[in-house]
A and B are shown apart, each in its own frame.
Chain A
């Protein structure tokens, strides 16, 4: 049922990476509950622009939960209170009339704030560049089903591949660890025969890049798994541990 709600928005404002930020409170009036969270921020920004103020900077792109661009730490949860959904899939019907909604950027040394709610997530690209791919000499297109893969393995690989690299795992982790992301990116290839060739090198390269970029050590709190918009399982982390330890032992 659609209705209108009014609430306070407590948003982190920070002019630049080096500048000190602080919260600013904005009053939002009569917002339809069918508005998505990002549309609501669009409404806020329109009001701010009309009033001659600087709009709030936030990341967004596809607005259908597949690109991994949107972020936001809303009321103590990455991507807000909904489970298995990104911020762009979050609707205002999740919130109550008169509530104060706190919106913060991802907070992690690996993801420094660029401005307001936008953080620099290039660290993930660097981890991918370290080995999150398969080197292939492209020739003719191989026949479909030339390499048999069991349904179970294919499903697990697809589950791992559903990671959109949004960074919610790092934002949720009290250790700022990127293990869920790295483990999903290692698993999606490690489970398949095509990924076997470079498996050991990949696990070592991606993990050492993760460590080098200043992400923390996993302590198995499972906060990442609980907050992941794609419900990536920590069984991937166990697989990464296995792959990495096996690679190091065979060195």
Chain B
């Protein structure tokens, strides 16, 4: 079997963000609840963005670094999302037109709520490991939800995508036998229409914890692993960072018998690095786990490499615990620098402007037959982001259900 792992990571977190504290204030939400959220900012999707543009904008930096020769070895492009733009054609197939990839490529879309990204990651890595061709795979995961204005979910509903290039294990090594599974039927989260999220928060949180413990126990049955000792870092599905803190608290007590002081130390030592980026972006649904993984590699870097436990959960529900081996000095990689750049490319906008963006967000929802000039009123945010990020793909218009995309750069008039 071929050695496989994460070769590179790309990120796109939109062109704008709002301060979560300002949003709490504007909405009249109880400030006391802000502390349990552990969020600082959240990314905002523009009407000219959908999962295709976000996937392409996340992948492009990785493909630029890879070069033409490397791009020719990519044999799988998979997009995991809950915001597909078409019920038949995958977001990956749409994205292919803008990624300069070979025709010798399989493209498809994956859906299993927030577990989609990790599920795609596992399947793509396994396909590479058993193939004699020494190819590469591009796993992209993300989401562009329509925020529920005025709800307590709104401050954590972000936007963005993560692109993970699987191939040589430069950032982390994947292991075919290091996984644990736990799934059962529940109804904690559904998206019955593109702009309707139905969530049972309590059921979702309880199921998340059940699955963390269940998938980890399944993992340890096959790997003789110890939750408290076998991993130097942990990255978990992060709908909001406070959720991870709560789940870690319960799992550390139940799986390792840690006391309150030990749990607090363990959280800071092993988990907090994975929350740095999610605290700036918010919930990107299918992309959450891969974003937490990227954040951990960026902010928990060691000189010798280390073991990294990754937990993914998706409503409905399905989960997986994955063991990776992180490489040395991951903070000093192009992926780490680009992760920082994807955050700094965004412009801070006021809640008033954020509301103005939301007012027109439904103009371009998947299923919309026609929409003209999708950049109207927001082109300044796109050109500002392009100064840092380079050319960005945006939705220009929709004509008879055909989405027309265009590249926007910093000099766009």
Q: Do A and B come from one complex?
A: no
